[in-house]
Amino acid sequence: MRKIKFLTIKKRAIVVGLLCVLAIGVFCGTYFPIKASATPKPVHTIVIDAGHGGIDGGAVGKVSGIDESHLNLEYAMELKSLCENFGIRVVMTRSDMNGLYSISAPNKKKSEMEKRRQIIESSGADLVVSLHMNSFPLPSARGAQVYYADGNESGKVLAERVGNALHQSIDYAKKTVKVGDYYVLNCTSKAGILVECGFLSNAEEENLLISEKYKENFCYSLLCGILNFYEM
């Protein structure tokens, strides 16, 4: 099995990284070597986009009734914490349950999408990761899926690295990535992916998605793919 390489940028990442490896290594299928750097160098910036928010709750859990927007934010904040522990600067499109749209906007969806574009374009980021939860009428549908914008070659490479990391450590996660026609990917030339973390319409997968341990494992796998994209 191919190993995914890690390199810490801050000294404090050593302890956090080792704890993550010990706790999650069984899910990733291998242990990742962690190397110390004497000089903190936050040389990378990413945008983490928690999908939906405000009046737009997105998909709803079949069993728990939890809104997608709530889970998106939880996963986004977990990924933010992990990335920062490895010396990556993070810009969030939203950090609470409020929507990004202007209250006075007649078309709130358009207003929200434009705000996301503004944040992404002004961030100085290398890449964008947008997090969502899926839903489908057929309750047996399950598994994480990674999308990238058509024609964005760096986005495709990022999607492949993240898709591979998820496939190695998360049950039912799709290794094959797909082109996705999503505004948050199409609005920028930056490397970007949209990750459907799983199906809230599948009762078994919903129970996993709302689990704290599963969230930690999933976001750590996302980090594996991101660091592998950076070749860190």
At 99, which CATH number?
3.40.630.40
Q: Tell me the HSE value of 147 on the side-chain side, using a 13 A CA sphere.
A: 19
pLDDT in tens, 137-171: 999 999 999 999 999 999 999 999 999 999 999 99
> For the chain, which residues score pLDDT lower than 50?
1-39
The reported pLDDT for the residue numbered 46 is 98
Residue 32: predicted pLDDT: 43
Rg of the chain, C-alpha, whole Å: 17
Domain range for 158: 44-226
Strand order through the sheet with 178-179: 89-92, 45-50, 127-134, 191-199, 145-148, 178-179
pTM of the full predicted structure? 0.83
In sequence order, the β-bridge partners of residue 196 are: 132, 145
Residue 3 domain flag = no
Q: How many domains does the chain have?
A: 1
Q: To the nearest whole number, what is the mean pLDDT of the chain?
A: 87
Residue 22 lies in a domain: no
Angle between helices 68-85 and 212-230 (to 10 degrees): 50
Please give the angle made by the CA atoms of 2, 35 and 40, to the nearest 5 degrees: 125
Q: How far is residue 43 from each of residues 10, 86, 219, measured CA to CA in Å?
A: 11, 11, 21
Q: Is 20 exposed, middle or buried (0-12, 13-18, 19+ CB in 10 A)?
A: buried
pLDDT in tens, 88-113: 999 999 999 999 999 999 999 999 99
> Of 210, 185, 218, 224, which Cα lies nearest the Cα of 49?
185
Looking at residue 25, its pLDDT comes to: 43
Residues paired with 191 in a beta bridge = 127
Q: 52 lies in a domain?
A: yes
Flag whether 21 is in a domain. Answer: no
Q: CA 141: distance to chain centroid?
A: 20
User: pLDDT value at position 43?
Assistant: 87
Q: How far apart are CA 140 and CA 165, in angstroms?
A: 23
